């Protein structure tokens, strides 16, 4: 079906039409015309006040829980949430039973996601069952379609194991994604270590637990070579470590969750377990440093960190509740609330070209002849997550019935499309 997008402001910092308001004609899954006023006839017309369009967004950190925990999320429901949140691609981490530690498990995800409106990129585990002991079947999983390898939020703090993973991944032309947490310092922590934790009487997770782990991983990377992506940093000190590592020529990239650009640890004063995430929400000083790091390119990508949890995992005493929040549908709004529309170029780059560079995918631009992989959105309108429009099977979000800035209109991905009602 042909589609025409009327009078959309194009946000494409590296493209030829950046900040221009144009008509975009799509036919056969490709952009065939971009003009001030396009006269071509289309099967579907997209028009909206304050309409913007960019290359399709890609999320490097989400969990779909399938197989094994389908009561929390399935691949199908996760794809629906991703599409509603504006993502044309999503990397699926292993938080499953069994874990994504074999060729068969990667093929399972690929087959269930095949032909959907959102491109799903499965991440195999670095170690067997994410246990941090023996390397998983990296070569077999790469051949089956794993785009990279991650033990999700299980930090690899054994230097020799990380060294072998980096060396092996380099040999099979892929890379390692890591989480940074020195558990001997953070064990039993419920939130950021600081004034709020003291006031609430909760054990804290110190910033140094992340920073020591990150420093060790960077030292191993410098020695071993290969490519390292740090999935989500949360402290001012971590931004400095990444900046210095890049300046020294290390092949390292980094992400931040949209929530960490928006909220601080003060949100936990009401003991809302939906704000209990890992890494934990930090201080205003850290949030300001993270925002600056996105703006100047030290941080390469913004992620949703979509982590569905059921009621039994969340509606507990705070110290017993599991970490995580559903964030695919609110990620853009959180990032926009944190960075403001003055930094829309940096925000969109961290959702579009940044993730593609990390994954080694071809860049996508809004120009004639390109495949139509687009996200349509507004920075002026607002979005409210409700029970009715929530696409996830889980409800662990702190933002239900709260108006947030920014609104996703829909996505176009080749010959497929999805639009929010």
Which of 177, 180, 168, 112 shows the shortest CA–CA distance to 147?
Answer: 177
**Residue 237: CB atoms within 10 Å:** 18
Angle between helices 284-295 and 331-339 (to 10 degrees): 100
Question: How would DSSP label each residue in 177-220?
Answer: EE----HHHHTT--EESSHHHHHHT--EE-HHHHHHHHHHHHHH
Which of 148, 169, 165 shows the shortest CA–CA distance to 156?
Answer: 165
Please give the biggest Cα pair distance in the chain.
65
Which of 335, 306, 301, 302 shows the shortest CA–CA distance to 323?
Answer: 306
The number of angstroms, rounded, from the C-alpha of 414 to the middle of its chain's C-alpha atoms is 21
Angle between helices 207-224 and 159-171 (to 10 degrees): 50
CB 215 within 8 A of CB 207: no
Catalytic residue among 288, 305, 345, 381: 305
Strand spans (E) along 140-289:
148-150, 176-178, 191-192, 204-205, 228-230, 252-257
The token duo for 397 is 């979000």
Task: Provide φ and ψ at 363, rounded to 5°.
Answer: -65, 150
DSSP state of 389: T
Q: How far apart are CA 14 and CA 23, in angstroms?
A: 19
Q: How far apart are CA 379 and CA 377, in angstroms?
A: 7
- The sign one gets for the Cα dihedral 57, 117, 51, 54 is positive
C-alpha dihedral, 106 to 111 to 113 to 114, nearest 10°: 130
Using DSSP, state whether 413 is helix, strand or coil.
strand
Active-site residue flag, 345: no
The CA R_g of the chain, rounded to the nearest whole Å, is 21
Active site residues: 305
């Amino acid at each position: 079906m042909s589609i025409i997008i009327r009078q959309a402001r194009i946000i494409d910092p590296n493209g030829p039409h950046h900040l221009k308001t144009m008509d975009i004609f799509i036919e056969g899954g490709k952009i065939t015309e971009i003009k001030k006023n396009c006269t071509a006839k289309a099967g579907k017309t997209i028009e909206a006040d304050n309409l913007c369009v960019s290359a399709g967004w890609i999320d490097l950190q989400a969990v779909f829980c399938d197989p094994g925990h389908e009561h929390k999320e399935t691949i199908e429901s996760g794809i629906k949430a991703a599409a509603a949140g504006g993502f044309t691609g999503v990397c699926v981490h292993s938080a499953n039973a069994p874990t994504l530690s074999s060729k068969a498990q990667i093929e399972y995800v690929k087959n269930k996601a095949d032909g959907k409106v959102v491109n799903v990129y499965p991440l195999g585990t670095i170690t067997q069952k994410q246990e941090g002991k023996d390397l998983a079947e990296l070569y077999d999983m790469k051949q089956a379609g794993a785009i990279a390898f991650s033990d999700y939020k299980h930090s690899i703090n054994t230097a020799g194991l990380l060294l072998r993973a980096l060396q092996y991944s380099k040999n099979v032309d892929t890379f390692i994604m890591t989480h940074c947490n020195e558990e001997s310092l953070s064990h039993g922590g419920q939130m950021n270590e600081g004034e709020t934790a003291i006031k609430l009487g909760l054990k804290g997770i110190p910033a140094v637990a992340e920073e020591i782990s990150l420093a060790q991983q960077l030292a191993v990377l410098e020695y071993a070579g290969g490519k390292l992506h740090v999935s989500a940093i949360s402290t001012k000190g971590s931004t400095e470590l990444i900046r210095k590592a890049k300046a020294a020529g290390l092949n390292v990239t980094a992400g931040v969750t949209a929530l960490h650009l928006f909220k601080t640890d003060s949100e936990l004063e009401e003991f809302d377990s939906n704000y209990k995430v890992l890494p934990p929400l930090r201080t205003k000083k850290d949030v300001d440093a993270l925002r600056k790091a996105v703006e100047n390119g030290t941080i390469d990508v913004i992620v949703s960190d979509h982590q569905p949890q059921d009621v039994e995992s969340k509606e507990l005493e705070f110290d017993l509740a599991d970490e995580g929040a559903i964030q695919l549908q609110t990620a853009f709004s959180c990032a926009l609330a944190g960075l403001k529309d003055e930094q829309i170029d940096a925000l969109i780059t961290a959702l579009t070209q940044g993730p593609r560079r990390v994954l080694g995918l071809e860049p996508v631009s809004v120009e004639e002849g390109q495949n139509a992989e687009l996200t349509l959105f507004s920075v002026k309108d607002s979005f409210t997550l409700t029970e009715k429009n929530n696409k996830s099977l889980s409800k662990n979000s702190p933002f239900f019935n709260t108006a947030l800035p920014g609104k996703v209109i829909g996505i176009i991905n080749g010959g497929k499309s999805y639009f929010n009602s």
